Amino acid sequence: MYASKPRPAVIVQDDLFDSTLSVVVAPITSQLIDAPLLRIRIPCDRDSISGLERDSDVMVDKLTAVRRSNVQTRVGRLTSDQLVEVERSLMAFLGLAR
What's the chain's average pLDDT?
A: 92
The strand pairing partners of 88, in sequence order, are none
- Predicted structure pTM score: 0.89
pLDDT (tens digit, 9 = 90+) per residue, 16-57?
999 999 999 999 999 999 998 899 999 998 778 999 999 999
What pLDDT score does 1 carry? 47
Instruction: Evaluate if residue 4 carries a pLDDT over 70.
Output: no
Ranges of each domain in the chain: 9-93
CB-based burial, 2-11: b 16+ in 10 Å, e otherwise: eeeeeebbbe
What class, spelled out in words, does domain 9-93 have in CATH?
mainly beta
Looking at residue 29, the DSSP 8-state letter turns out to be E
Short-list 12, 85, 53, 11, CA closest to 43: 53
